[in-house]
Amino acid sequence: MKSLKENFQKTHIVIIGSGIIGKFNALELSELGFQISIIDPAKILNSSNAALGLLMGNMYQKRRGRSWDLRKQSIELWPKWLEFLQKFNNELHIAKPLIQLTTNEEKFKKLEKFITEANDINLRILEGDSIFIKNINKAFQTKKLKGIISYKDGRINAKSLLKSLDKCLKQKKINFVKEEIIKIRKSKNQWISRTRNNEEIKSDIIILCNSLKAVDLINSLSPKIKLKAVLGQAIELGINDAEVDLLSLPKQFNIDGKNIIPISKNKLIIGSTDEYSTKPKENTIEQLTNFLDKKPSWLIKGEILKKWHGIRSRPDGEPSPILKNLEDGLIICTGFYKNGILLAPACSKWVANEIKNYLS
């Protein structure tokens, strides 16, 4: 009888979609010895390239259920993958901590309750005399910001992460096919992925990691799966005010839903809006800076140096993400909405376990 490892080496897996999820699955499965092909036309920028890379896991307020389990697992897995990927980019790191702030008294009370109930040494309420709160309130010229800090959460630069994954997958000689898949079907015991150029790629297993477009490929197989497009936007803002030193602020923080990342003394990134749409409207960019009743003058006068957006896919009628075994040898791992970067390690582990069970 053949060993499992031999089985793995003979098994060809096609991954459709090469965003963070496709790439992470390729990494996890290639480490187990499978033959991998990733297929993606790579024509337009995907959601992964737009991501800010915040890893908001331990701060998640619902501390039970599948979503919490996936977050918890990812937080535990990230250090291992970071160490592995640092072989390909020694500057890749996770900047910690992560701070969540609000000007709303009611929301703050909820945060306080969450911290008390969580009873986790890595989660704290930020006291008014903490240096973080002092510096943030000073820079934003307010006294109203209050919040919590998570020492376990943080941020990884998503672009550097994707580049490191590319380098790693190239070294592992993963087959990358620059094509769009327009149809998948099963013939005897094999899966066939047909490209727009009418090429047919055979495999033993297919993993759908192609976000919104996954439903086009499985409509006839699983019509119940629905995904909605949710726009995410970000800007890089240049500040021309000698009084403000953005580097005095924490490395990353969130004020009432807006993520803020100071990247130098006079530049910061702000993201992300949340609308069910695929095209940004001009005024939504302005809304990115509207997170305080009264904006400080440096924020009003700030110059938009870059703006970008990405389309995230959110499951309609079921929680995010969609992790399912649709039929023998066909897995869907998509619909990551706001948390694809955070959840990539836990979800690729889930996929690997499904495949191991299927083959054993």
Q: CA 133, CA 135: separation in Å to the nearest integer? A: 6
Report how far apart the first and last C-alpha atoms of the chain are (Å, whole number): 12
From the number of C-beta atoms within 10 Å of its C-beta (0-12, 13-18, 19+), residue 312 rates as buried
As measured in angstroms, the least distance from the Cβ of 341 to ligand FAD is 3
Q: Applying CB under 6 A, which part among 13-21, 87-95, 104-112, 280-288 lies near ligand FAD?
A: 13-21
Among residue numbers 137 through 166, which ones bind ligand FAD (CB under 6 A)? none
Give the C-alpha distances (Å, rounded to integers) separating 293 from 18, 19, 143, 279, 333: 41, 37, 12, 27, 40
- Total binding residues toward ligand FAD, as defined by CB under 6 A: 39
Site string for ligand FAD, 163-202 (x = CB under 6 A): -----------------xx---------------------
47-55, 110-118, 123-131, 350-358 -> range binding ligand FAD (CB under 6 A): 47-55
At position 141, the amino acid (one-letter code) is Q
103 binds ligand FAD (CB under 6 A): no
Interaction between residue 16 and ligand FAD (CB under 6 A): yes
Q: Which residues contact 319 (CB under 8 A, 6 or more apart)?
A: 66, 67
Smaller CB distance to ligand FAD: residue 244 or 313? 313
Give the shortest CB-80-to-ligand FAD separation in angstroms. Answer: 18
Q: Which residues make Cβ contacts (< 8 Å) with residue 335, sequence separation at least 6?
A: 211, 214, 227, 313, 314, 315, 320, 321, 322
With binding defined as CB under 6 A, does residue 348 bind ligand FAD? no
Stretch that binds ligand FAD, among 38-46, 62-70, 133-141, 164-172 (CB under 6 A): 38-46
Interface with ligand FAD by CB under 6 A: which range of 36-44, 77-85, 145-153, 221-229? 36-44
Distance CA 225, CA 317 (A): 8
Give 70's contacts (C-beta < 8 A, 6+ positions apart): 321, 343, 346, 347, 350
Considering only 13, 22, 34, 302, the residue that binds ligand FAD (CB under 6 A) is: 22
Q: Which residues of 86-110 are buried (b: 16+ CB within 10 A; e: fewer)?
A: eebbeebebbbbbbbbbbeeeebee
Distance of closest approach, residue 1 Cβ to ligand FAD, in angstroms:
36
Residues 202-261 that bind ligand FAD (CB under 6 A): 209-211, 213, 232-234
Helix (H) or strand (E) run with residue 73 in it? helix 66-85
Q: Which residues bind ligand FAD (CB under 6 A)?
A: 16-22, 39-41, 46-48, 50-54, 180-181, 209-211, 213, 232-234, 271-272, 310, 312, 334, 336-342
